[in-house]
Structure 1
Amino acid sequence: MARAALSLLLIGLVLAQPNQPAAVPRFPLELPVIVAILIAWPGRARGLRTLTVAALVAGVVLKGLDLALHLAFGRPFDPVADLPLLASALELGEGALGPALTLLAALALGAGLAALAAALWWATGLWTRHDPPRRGWALVAVVLAAGLAAADLAAPERVPGAAFTTALSVERGRAARRALDDLAAFRRATAADPWAGHPDPFARLGEAELRIIFVESYGRASFDNPLYAPHAALMAEAEAGIAARGLAMRSGWLGSPVAGGQSWLAHATLASGLRIDSATRYSALLASPRRTLFELARASGHETLAVMPGIVRDWPEGRRLGFSRILAAADLGYRGQPFNWVTMPDQFTLAAFDRQGHQPARVAQIVLISSHAPWVPEPRMVPWEKLGDGRIFDAQATAGDPPEVVWRDPGRVRAAYRSSLGYALRAVTAHATRSGHGALTLILGDHPPAPFVSGLPGRDVPAHLIGPPELLAPFDGWGWTEGLIPAPDLPVLPMEAFRDRFLSALSGRP
């Protein structure tokens, strides 16, 4: 009796495993179906047990991936689009924990799944050893239990318990079908571009430089969550300094396609004017004839530059996205210690961009990464004239507790995020103050941080236009707030709508 109870408990816990933090487990209606089937057909025990254990372990993996993505990105796992994230997770783990601990964690996960499979094999085996009379009752139980599970699938919440694992599997199958249909529709959308053939969408830019600067993990929480009130105070202080230099400012909200990570999808969304919220859409964009903002700039005679301190490997898609020149991490001259995954502090990245010299009518994308997880060690500003080759940051890069210590406490994680993003905002606003003349600068967040850090739902990010008043005049009709603090009730512009609206303003074309 004790072994039977333990068997039921193990299978039941696997079936009731939640797939998101707020889920409330209910009695799994699949449990009596599984047990009754194993009792009713002992002649096929090995095959039935193999299928059952494989399905249960696959369900554990799927729910675990769902839970991880809910915590990181505020959404479930997409079996079609999210497989490439597994490699990205390993890279982030190596940067935060080191290769040895990451390998150990991967091995422990594999060993845990193997142990679970072995335990489920034992648990399912207990129910294949019953005599023939009991098998007759088991057939009746199969019909009744399967009917109850089917009733839950048809009308959830109306029967006791839930066929949650089955419902989740069915939904993932439907989601995969929807993803394939969506991809077909997206491919059609890439062929229709209102800016194809336009002679110069940047006509009003003149000889000014356009700088599009992404600030990692900069979301609405910096203004709406009291925990991050120092960010709003910092921006208010920066606003006064920028205005004193005779520069104008406008701020609003954009709706990012992602939250918690996958910054490159936000970059591609802004550049393409299409919503890029998955790896499949990103790949489809690269294979499509759609021209990005940077391709349009290059076609109209502008130099295009990408400053990418987070790129440490070959990046062939950079050319496809429209960049005539790419400065990756190795090209920026940093010789200091990395800040875990972060290759160099934002202040150095911005100074390296300045060392390239002002180029008339250049269109540049700069991606800042100091506020990227794991947010430790925490960087601090140093005098601009003392940056040198970056070794001045070495003491900061080796200070404080490592990520594996800080990340044991959610409160410390949020504090580290607050400090790191505060540094990034200081660096980018100081840069705009120092070198904003002769340039139109767009500073924006790529996405909010993970929901457990932001404390807010949604994917809104702040966006700030900074430049001489004559360069900001074409945007007066947008209704954005003057200064660096966007009004909380401003309508949110989807990030995919920004490109066309921005080019309409710069070109003078409605």
Structure 2
Amino acid sequence: MPRRNGVAMGAPAVPSSRRGGAVATAGAIVALVVLPLAPGLLASERLPTGPAALLGIPVESLLILLLLVIAPWRIPRRVLAGLFGLFVTGALLLAGIDHGFRAAVGAPFALSDWSQLGAAYGVLVDSLGAFLAGLLLVALIGGILACTVVLAWAALRVADVVCRRAAGRIVLAAATAVWLVSALVAPLRVGDPIAAAASIGSVGSAVARTETVLGAQPTIAREIARDPFAGVPADRLLTGLRGKDVIIAFVESYGRVALEGDGIEGGVTGVLQAGDASLAAEGYSARSAWLTSPTFGGLSWLAHATLQTGVWAPTQSAYNQIVASNRLSLALAFGRAGWRTVSDVPSDNQRWGVGRSFYHYGSLLDATNVGYRGPAFGYALIPDQYTLKHFADTQLTGPHTPVMAEIDLASSHTPWTPLSQLVPWDKIGDGSIYDPQPALSPSATTVWQNPQTVQRFYGQSVQYSLGSLFSFLQNVDDPNLVVIVLGDHQPAEIVSGSGASHDVPISIIARDPAVLAATTDWNWSPGLQPGDTSPVWPMDAFRDRLLTAFSPTP
């Protein structure tokens, strides 16, 4: 057959517009199948792979096509398509956030936890920098808009084809019949049902989780009100610690894996063993155990509130209830009993309202008012050693009213890079000695390419935080010092592993033998390292145990 310009003469030519239209329709069909199924894939424990993950007929797409075929007017059809796009995109966003929450903090996302998204973005800014984090946020917003538009367009495109062609109507009817049959046999567990409602399920699950969280509020309210120490007179609170400077030091992400994790525990236990020896030389003794934290991988403030108030705070909603109440916190109990109370949170760069309104701290120290002139270390704006040196110099020197403080040591906060290094105590100054250190660590994007590297940097960050605390204890000559050091939660699953416990170490350190003698019935293990036989308490049990041990009556 003769050819002209490479085309066989006599062969019917397919117009490019028809080919383009067919490609566009095929793309629209793919979008209507894949995107509504995606929330179901994200809801899985492990993301499915391969073609089998897309074997399903999304009911959301069937419903919108049926509605668009029936709807006779153009504007309502566009509105319906737009609402469909928003619904599926919203379901996909909720499923993605929930998947991220489960991976990062080991807990599902409820709509009542929306404020935690701001905290998550703050960590992203501190880890990657404001510019790159901003680009990611812009990309996410652009993706949401694009997904909505693509879904609306795809629904209108396929609906138009169905309206114009009898074959399209037959395919739509057949797909609807298959979905209905599959839905009917699904309860009988006959094979894997093709009937899918992933987007509807994602939204429904988010609503159900939120209802569960809100439904727990009456129980939490009863726990807040049931306080055996609420009416104890101030002169009968904490009499066993009178004259002592008491510090509660939270070490960020200091979890059980730091003492038991493969490739991690060696360095951390080595620091603890050296700490035991150095503290013994300074006249200190220590006892240790485990606490079970209400949170995992992040959301540290939930652990802080649980320890301080004796009320279990596993969600943002529970936390909000607690800090809006008049529950007696440890900080308030010490304040009523005559201590000068201090909150030292070096990762904060703005005023902490709850510190005044609920905890009633007399002084709030943060990144803005501790005189630090050195470099930032990612989320940990200020190295722990500087935090402790500044606290010692400003709160513990000379004659002073006994102080009770919560100090949050943040150098071991994710992403665990760049790392700080210990410097001579008397050379810390305004922190400018740390200027060369951030450049010595790889970036977070480099470290997080390999789980083993992440685990190694995590272990090193905990070693630094603990080393900073021991440096503080060795250099502060305060015979009345009592330190309670503990973790707030386990690190994320990439370090802790799947199914890890919520346990964190806790130690009480003091020079005065009477302090540890008052805790004899706690049966904690000697030294800074709890073992397999050490007690495991829920974190909300600690407040009452402490107040009971050091107050004459409950």
Same fold (TM over 0.5): yes
The aligned residue for residue 4 of structure 2 is none
Aligned with residue 38 of structure 1, among 65, 73, 79: 65
TM-score by length of 1: 0.92
Q: Which residue identity is paired with 1:73?
A: V
2:295–2:489 contact (8 Å) kept in structure 1: yes
Matched, 1:316 2:353: yes
The aligned residue for residue 176 of structure 1 is 210
Matched, 1:366 2:407: yes
The aligned residue for residue 325 of structure 1 is 363
CA 1:451/1:496 → structure 2, altered by over 3 Å: closer, same or farther? same
CA 1:36/1:86 → structure 2, altered by over 3 Å: closer, same or farther? closer
Query: CA–CA distance in 2 between the matches of 1:393 and 1:137?
Result: 68
Q: Which residue identity is paired with 1:56?
A: V
CA 1:36/1:265 → structure 2, altered by over 3 Å: closer, same or farther? closer
* Cα drift, residue 463 of structure 1: 0.3
* Cα drift, residue 404 of structure 1: 3.2
* Cα drift, residue 426 of structure 1: 0.8
The aligned residue for residue 160 of structure 1 is 193
CA 1:157/1:507 → structure 2, altered by over 3 Å: closer, same or farther? farther
Aligned with residue 484 of structure 2, among 442, 460, 481: 442
* Cα drift, residue 277 of structure 1: 2.3
Q: Which residue identity is paired with 1:389?
A: D
2:42–2:95 contact (8 Å) kept in structure 1: yes
The aligned residue for residue 337 of structure 1 is 375
Q: Which residue identity is paired with 1:438?
A: N
Q: Which residue identity is paired with 2:193?
A: P
Query: CA–CA distance in 2 between the matches of 1:351 and 1:237?
Result: 20
Matched, 1:501 2:501: no
After superposition, give the CA deviation of every residue in 1:376-435 in whole Å (9 maximum; x if it has no partner): 221111111111111111111343333333333333332222222111111112323443
More deviation, 50-59/358-367 = 358-367
Equivalence map 1:31-70=2 (5 Å): 31=58, 34-35=61-62, 38-39=65-66, 41-44=68-71, 45-70=77-102
SS where residue 424 of structure 1 aligns? Answer: helix
After superposition, give the CA deviation of every residue in 1:314-336 in whole Å (9 maximum; x if it has no partner): 11211121311222222222111
2:425–2:475 contact (8 Å) kept in structure 1: no
CA 1:137/1:344 → structure 2, altered by over 3 Å: closer, same or farther? closer
CA 1:151/1:363 → structure 2, altered by over 3 Å: closer, same or farther? farther
Give ranges in structure 1 of 5+ residues lacking alignment.
none
CA 1:473/1:30 → structure 2, altered by over 3 Å: closer, same or farther? farther
CA 1:164/1:505 → structure 2, altered by over 3 Å: closer, same or farther? same
After superposition, give the CA deviation of every residue in 1:216-254 in whole Å (9 maximum; x if it has no partner): 111011111122121112112211221232322111111
SS where residue 101 of structure 2 aligns? Answer: helix
Give ranges in structure 2 of 5+ residues lacking alignment.
1-21, 72-76
Equivalence map 1:57-456=2 (5 Å): 57-81=89-113, 83-128=114-159, 129-131=161-163, 135=169, 138=172, 141-142=175-176, 145-146=179-180, 148-149=182-183, 152=186, 159-161=192-194, 163-199=197-233, 200-229=236-265, 230-319=267-356, 320-355=358-393, 356-357=395-396, 359-435=400-476, 437-455=479-497
1:376–1:402 contact (8 Å) kept in structure 2: yes
* Cα drift, residue 471 of structure 1: 0.7
More deviation, 324-333/228-237 = 324-333
The aligned residue for residue 12 of structure 1 is 33
CA 1:98/1:117 → structure 2, altered by over 3 Å: closer, same or farther? same
CA 1:28/1:506 → structure 2, altered by over 3 Å: closer, same or farther? farther
Matched, 1:481 2:525: yes
CA 1:151/1:353 → structure 2, altered by over 3 Å: closer, same or farther? farther
Query: CA–CA distance in 2 between the matches of 1:289 and 1:280?
Result: 16
**Percent of counterpart pairs with the same letter?**
31
Total equivalences in the alignment = 508
Query: CA–CA distance in 1 between the matches of 2:67 and 2:391?
Result: 71
2:239–2:551 contact (8 Å) kept in structure 1: yes
Q: Which residue identity is paired with 1:407?
A: W
* Cα drift, residue 156 of structure 1: 7.3
Q: Which residue identity is paired with 1:379?
A: S
After superposition, give the CA deviation of every residue in 1:247-294 in whole Å (9 maximum; x if it has no partner): 221111111111111111211111111112222222222221212111
* Cα drift, residue 369 of structure 1: 0.8
Q: Whose Rg is larger?
A: 2
1:218–1:444 contact (8 Å) kept in structure 2: yes
1:57–1:113 contact (8 Å) kept in structure 2: yes
Q: Aligned Cα RMSD in Å?
A: 2.6
Q: Which residue identity is paired with 2:405?
A: A
SS where residue 216 of structure 2 aligns? Answer: helix
1:38–1:48 contact (8 Å) kept in structure 2: no
* Cα drift, residue 137 of structure 1: 7.5
Matched, 1:470 2:514: yes
